[in-house]
Amino acid sequence: MSTVISVENVSKYYRLGLIGGRTLHDDFERWWAKVRGKPGPLLKIAQEDYGNRQGEYIWALRDVSFEVPQGEVVGIPSQAQDRPFG
């Protein structure tokens, strides 16, 4: 079978502390907590707070490569509940 999708060395990183919230109010609440040295007020129980580590980077993908042969199916898992490809 022939290859219909080929991906080589794909990488993606995020700069922590710079990802916005859903609303201006949420962003303000997180900013105010960070100024006071408090954990993010919108965190779920036992969720790690990355908000006070502004400027650090976290790799979501690093040098990922794959091929999809004709006739195969590909799925992209995501935790996003309100966006199809979050």
- pLDDT for 6-38, tens place per residue? 999 999 887 666 556 667 787 788 788 888 888
Which one has a higher pLDDT value, 58 or 18? 58
* Domain identity same for 30 and 2: no
Same domain, 63 and 34: no
Domain that holds residue 77: 1-16+59-86
Same structural domain for residues 63 and 50? no
Q: What is the pTM of this model?
A: 0.46
d(CA 86, CA 84): 6
Same domain, 26 and 51: yes
Question: Do 37 and 63 fall into the same domain?
Answer: no
pLDDT in tens, 72-85: 998 877 666 555 55
Task: With a cut of 80, say whether residue 2 has pLDDT above it.
Answer: yes
- 45 and 22 part of one domain: yes
Rg (the chain; Cα; Å): 18
Please report where in the chains the tokens 């710079």 appear, as a residue: 18
What is the rounded average pLDDT of the residues 42-68?
Answer: 75
Q: In the chain, how many domains are there?
A: 2
